[in-house]
Amino acid sequence: MSNAEIFQLTPANQAIVDARERLRADFIRKPEALWPWFPFCKVRVLVVTDGNLDFSDGDFGLATFIRTLLDSVVPARFEVTLGHLYNRSGNAMMEFEPRIKKRVPSFKFDDTDDFAPGMFDVVFLFGISTSIGGRGTASDGNPYPSSQFADTELQAIAEFQNGGGGLFATGDHAALGRFMGQALPRAGKMRLWESTSSNNDLDEVSMGGPRRNDTNRPGDPGSQFEDQADDVPQGVIPKIYSASNWLFKYSFPHPLLCGPNGVIRVMPDHPHEGECVEPTNTSSTLSFKSNLGPEFPNATDAGPKPLPEIISTNIVLAGTTSGGKDPTVGHSFGGICAYNGHRAGVGRVVTDATWHHFVNVNLVGYTSLPNDTVKGQGFLASSAGQAHLENIRAYFRNLAVWLSRKSNISCMNSGWVVYLYHNERVMEAVLTRTDFKFAELDTYHLWEIGHHARDVLGKFASRCQSRRLILDLVWPEYKLELPNVDPWVHFDPKERETDIRINWINGDHILDAALGGALAAVHSEIGDRFEERYDTDEVKKVAQEGARKGASLAVKSLGETMEAFAKQVKM
């Protein structure tokens, strides 16, 4: 039903609505034309797959996932290159999408025309093949192995990761995806790439045994294989990180599972997923064509050694048959494993239990079923399903952002500052004049600017994401001076406070004042730009200095308030 049918718009008013929709579409396609001043941060993304997985709109295509990245504009623009290990073309390589940067069939990681350690910022690998033959000769003159990537390819991937590039890898049940995944640096140890037993009754990642990772949730009466394509997702259990001191008390999931609508607690379901694991051997050395140092290096920030961790757990319901399979034994397994390599001077890594969380059939239904059926539309079949899909797509975007190089993330954070500065809800809602200097603003005005800014940011990001922005961008020093301010920083358990404290004060006010100080400083030191693009390094420097001043004023005000309160209640 059109807007005109719902609201009975006149033709003239409908034309206004249509023009606004065209404007939104134009902004997604060419945002620089409408916002020439905005520092869009380009993130170079490579997505590689193999076998009968492709980038089409077919059931085993990744088009929905790719479009999610392409439709993301603020603050990052994802420049997407598609690679397929097979010689694929046409719809399989998304030829219908003009925004794709490059398409590379017969992709090889040791071909410098296809890949080099500095060519991309994020690499996604979706593997289904257990072996691939006939790939020819590797760059070192040896035949490509049929069981896994060549050492020359693994060397290039490892150098990419050691240089700060982010890597995502997934397969499916049993050995599906083994060719691309099993020998990968770091990611190879963060997921199962083989069956755990030759006995089907004991195999944790089988296709039909009772211990399989069957996450299907029934939609229609009964347990059917096709339930994976309806509008009912599986519920997942995110790992919750907490931090507490006398100012703050927070509990948040991993940043990958922070969505605009809150914690992401759903994923597409599937009758036989793979499984993510935490590595048991974390002292190995990377060595392919040359020694590349520790696989999991020590922290560069004097904290504990960062290690991969399961950040989301999936649940298998007892008695699930999914259309003829053995009834399942109820259990849980690792759904997502994440490694924050930035703390060790290398790239971040994520593995997922299955690419069925990403392919079209598990998102928008079967192409073989009528479009007016639930399983022919997937999550698009209902308003509840569409809400679930938005949460899942938020996870897709989070992956591309979190895996980005540190320089990319710094650019994005500066982009958010510029966006908030230009939003009419922030400065205009607080101030009565625009020609002010930072020194003219008191603590209250800085707090109010920051408070409005966090509310605006909440339209795009959840509370945990807005907090992440402040901690990453405008409050780096104070994270160290105030213990346990950041729930995502890993502390040695022996160093944590063991006493129980009452959180008398809302420390968020200090964060708001810090953000307000950052925005006020940008206004005072840089000002409005309408044709010239903002320099993200300049924005970062000015914003951090303003945040430092805003936070200091807030802490001073807090002390004065506490002192006055103590005098009033003195007994």
Tens-place pLDDT, residues 433-466? 878 889 999 999 999 999 999 888 877 776 677 7
Query: What are the structure tokens assigned to 449, written together?
Result: 């600017």
Longest dimension (CA), the chain: 86
* Per-residue confidence (pLDDT) for residue 494, from 0 to 100: 54
pLDDT at 428 over 90: no
* Per-residue confidence (pLDDT) for residue 69, from 0 to 100: 98
Residue 246: other Cβ atoms inside 10 A? 14
Comparing 200 with 243, which gets the higher pLDDT?
200
Comparing 372 with 473, which gets the higher pLDDT?
372
Tens-place pLDDT, residues 337-385? 999 999 999 999 999 999 999 999 999 999 999 999 999 999 999 999 9
pLDDT at 2 over 60: no
* Per-residue confidence (pLDDT) for residue 47, from 0 to 100: 99
| Torsion of Cα atoms, 244 then 479 then 347 then 274, to 10° | 10
**This model's pTM is above 0.95:** no
Q: Pairing state of beta strands 102-104 and 76-84?
A: parallel
Percent of the residues in the chain that have a pLDDT greater than 90, as a whole number:
73
Residue 3 — pLDDT band, cuts 50, 70, 90? very low
How much is the average pLDDT of 209-228? 91
* Per-residue confidence (pLDDT) for residue 24, from 0 to 100: 83
Distance CA 182, CA 266 (A): 27
DSSP string, 241-261: EEEESSS-EEEEE-GGGEETT
How much is the average pLDDT of 470-482? 62
* Per-residue confidence (pLDDT) for residue 491, from 0 to 100: 57
Grouping H, G, I as helix, E, B as strand and the rest as coil, residue 339 is: strand
Percent of the residues in the chain that have a pLDDT greater than 70, as a whole number:
92
* Per-residue confidence (pLDDT) for residue 1, from 0 to 100: 43
How much is the average pLDDT of 24-38? 84
Tens-place pLDDT, residues 101-129? 999 999 999 999 999 999 999 999 999 99
How much is the average pLDDT of 228-256? 87
pLDDT at 5 over 60: no
* Per-residue confidence (pLDDT) for residue 473, from 0 to 100: 67
Beta strands in 25-100 (DSSP E): 41-49, 76-84
Q: Which residue has the tokens 């994976």?
A: 228
> 169 with 127: CB under 8 angstroms?
yes
Residue 496 — pLDDT band, cuts 50, 70, 90? low
Query: Which H helix or E strand runs over 463?
Result: helix 463-469
pLDDT at 18 over 60: yes
Helix pair 406-422, 508-525: axis angle to 10 deg: 80
> 105 with 94: CB under 8 angstroms?
no
Tens-place pLDDT, residues 313-322? 999 999 999 9
How much is the average pLDDT of 231-249? 85
* Per-residue confidence (pLDDT) for residue 29, from 0 to 100: 78
- CB burial of residue 543 (10 Å; 0-12, 13-18, 19+): buried
* Per-residue confidence (pLDDT) for residue 438, from 0 to 100: 92
How much is the average pLDDT of 167-173? 99
Query: What are the structure tokens assigned to 492, written together?
Result: 């040695």
Average pLDDT of the chain is 91
Question: In degrees, to the nearest 5, what angle opens at C-alpha 71 toward C-alphas 352 and 451?
Answer: 90
Comparing 145 with 251, which gets the higher pLDDT?
145
Amino acid at the residue 318? A
Distance of CA 465 to the CA centre of its chain: 11
> 126 with 52: CB under 8 angstroms?
no
Grouping H, G, I as helix, E, B as strand and the rest as coil, residue 310 is: strand
Distance CA 162, CA 205 (A): 31
Amino acid at the residue 14? Q
Tens-place pLDDT, residues 497-552? 555 566 677 778 888 999 999 999 999 999 988 889 999 999 999 999 999 899 89
* Per-residue confidence (pLDDT) for residue 565, from 0 to 100: 83
* Per-residue confidence (pLDDT) for residue 485, from 0 to 100: 62
How much is the average pLDDT of 14-37? 87
Measured on CA atoms in the order 223, 227, 233, 239, is the torsion positive or negative?
A: positive
Residue 402: other Cβ atoms inside 10 A? 21
Most confident range (mean pLDDT) of 207-221, 324-338, 450-464, 482-496 is 324-338
pLDDT at 44 over 90: yes
> 392 with 266: CB under 8 angstroms?
yes
pLDDT at 250 over 90: no
